[in-house]
Amino acid sequence: MTLLSKSDQEAVTAAINEAERETDAELVTVLTAQSDNYSYIPLLWAGILALLVPGIANYVGNWFSADVLLLVQWGTFILLSLLFRMPNINTRLIPQQVRYWRASNLARRQFLEQRLHHTDGGTGMLIFVSEAERYVEILVDQGIADVLDNKVWEDIVADFTAKVHQGETRQGFLDCIAACGKLLKEHVPATHERNELPNHLVILE
């Protein structure tokens, strides 16, 4: 999984500049490869399986003495802990609800860290993407929420999420920014020239 190239990032910046020319809204885009390292997940699964599998096998077949059973459980735990850290396996072990919860939490932290709640007139908008979780969210401040119901973003988010699934994150950003810009132009039109927040794509390491 690769985050956007420099030319992709420049295209996103250009799209934000274009959208903000016709609205008082302040758009900030944030992209992260993963919202959490989920380091506890491999250990949790390894611990459960290391306790259950050798224990059940020994109960059924009575293969091990107490000392040997303990060694088998330790060995199973170490082996599975290493195996479950492999990215392709790790992501499959994390329940979708947990992945979305972590991504949603990070989106809300970014809304605050990027100072979107301090814009003039409360017109901040965050477009947040977490690639590993295939998660997209749009958060807006009160000045936008007062004139646009949150439901208007649902189709835009669904379209962007589909593009992230397809590995088309760059195009997803461009389409999302254009669609948001169209709505903002109508409901939060530009009344004066300003640029309170940076327009470049924020990439979290």
DSSP letter string, the chain: -----HHHHHHHHHHHHHHHTTBS-EEEEEEES-S---THHHHHHHHHHHHHHHHHHHHHH----HHHHHHHHHHHHHHHHHHTTSHHHHHHHS-HHHHHHHHHHHHHHHHHHTTGGGSTTS-EEEEEEETTTTEEEEEE-HHHHTTS-GGGGHHHHHHHHHHHHTT-HHHHHHHHHHHHHHHHHHHSB--S----S--SPEEE-
Tell me which of 40-44, 108-112, 176-180 is least confident: 40-44
Among the listed residues 23, 18, 11, the one whose alpha carbon sits nearest the alpha carbon of residue 173: 11
Residue 42 and residue 84 in contact, taking contact as beta carbons nearer than 8 Å: yes
Task: Give residue 16's pLDDT.
Answer: 97
Pick the CATH number of 6-36+96-203 from 3.10.310.50, 2.60.40.10, 3.40.50.300, 3.40.50.2300: 3.10.310.50
Classify each residue of 122-139 as buried b or exposed e, where b means 16 or more C-beta atoms within 10 Å of its C-beta: bbbbbbbbbbbbbbbbbb
For 64-86, how does the pLDDT look when each residue is reduced to its tens digit (9 = 90+)? 676 777 787 888 888 888 887 77
The pTM score is: 0.80
Task: Give residue 1's pLDDT.
Answer: 46
Q: Work out the pLDDT band at 2, boundaries 50, 70, 90.
A: low
Say how far residue 64 (Cα) sits from the centre of its chain: 46
Rounded to an integer, the average pLDDT of 171-199 is: 93
**Terminal C-alpha separation, the chain:** 13
Angstrom distance (rounded) from CA 103 to CA 119: 24
For residue 101, list its beta bridge partners.
Answer: none
For the chain, residues classed under CATH 3.10.310.50 are: 6-36+96-203
For 6-15, how does the pLDDT look when each residue is reduced to its tens digit (9 = 90+)? 999 999 999 9
Percent of the chain with pLDDT over 90: 59
Q: Could you identify the residue written with the tokens 């017109």?
A: 123
Rounded to an integer, the average pLDDT of 109-133 is: 94
Angstrom distance (rounded) from CA 132 to CA 103: 10
Task: Give residue 73's pLDDT.
Answer: 80
